[in-house]
Amino acid sequence: MVVLISGASSGLGLHTAQQLRNAGLTVVAGARSFAAGEGELDGLYRLVLDVRDEESVRRFVRLAVERFGPPDALICAQGVLCLNAAAEYTDQEVNDVMDTNYYGSVRLIREVMPHFIQAGKGRILLFSSINGLLGIPFQSAYTASKHAIEGWAECLRMEVRPYHVSVCLVTPGDHQSGQKRYRRHGRSDSPESPYHQRYLRAVGQIEHDEATGSDPDHLGCVIARALTRRTLPERLLIAKPDQKLAVLLHKLLPIRWFSRIISTYYKQSGAKG
């Protein structure tokens, strides 16, 4: 099985690519940072990929097909996060998040789908998030991008089913994957922002949850097993029990009650540090 995966230089994308390789799959890994060196390394075939650039996406898919033939699966695992108050985001900050997380997936699937249609089969896995199912303070741009992926994938699934193409939403909770190193911060990180103190407490809680999060290699193993099953599930919710509970409560509780619970959770100052 030939699998194309974006965002494969770090974080959950890298761990997923490694576990796919360990499962014996042929992995073509894409990331911007691979400009330093393309080709095979540690069992992964690396190609430069900037999902924000349509020509880069075309080159990535073209070179992968030339080297390994038509792909059997595509995993869109790229992602960026900018923390800020919803009312303080600049247009550029929101655009950067949407361009990578959402439009990047649109570009990749648009380029790969003709190969799937010609083959009469294919599998698409889109990285959503718990944030794609509920809101979290100071992550509104990221949450919006994941909600967009959720809705878009639902439409995509109905449209590609006649071509025997399956669509799966990968929904991770917090994982220990080094997100802090790549995190961007907006105006709320400044003491001049009226949101600053609440922002710091929320960021402290976010970082605490990630530091104590799930094993990213486990996530990669779950995805590898799903890809090799006869039927691809429509969703893989890979999260700790408390985060799965939050998803359930979001469905069951009145929004006012749920918002109070989440707001209180992210006001905890004990996790800051």
Positions marked active-site: 142
**Two tokens, residue 133:** 């199912």
Half-sphere exposure of 118 (CA within 13 A, CB side): 9
How buried is residue 40: exposed, middle or buried, by Cβ count under 10 Å (0-12/13-18/19+)?
Answer: exposed
Residue 122 phi, psi (nearest 5): 170, 160
User: What is the rounded distance in angstroms from the CA atom of residue 152 to the CA atom of residue 78?
Assistant: 16
User: What is the rounded distance in angstroms from the CA atom of residue 41 to the CA atom of residue 153?
Assistant: 32
3-state class (DSSP) for residue 194: coil
**Which is it for strands 39-41 and 44-48: parallel, antiparallel or unpaired?**
antiparallel
Sheet containing strand 39-41, strands side by side:
39-41, 44-48, 26-31, 2-5, 73-76, 122-127, 165-172, 235-238
User: What is the rounded distance in angstroms from the CA atom of residue 155 to the CA atom of residue 181?
Assistant: 34
3-state class (DSSP) for residue 44: strand
User: What is the rounded distance in angstroms from the CA atom of residue 171 to the CA atom of residue 131?
Assistant: 9
Asked whether the beta carbons of 113 and 120 are under 8 A apart, the reply is no
**Two tokens, residue 230:** 């006869």
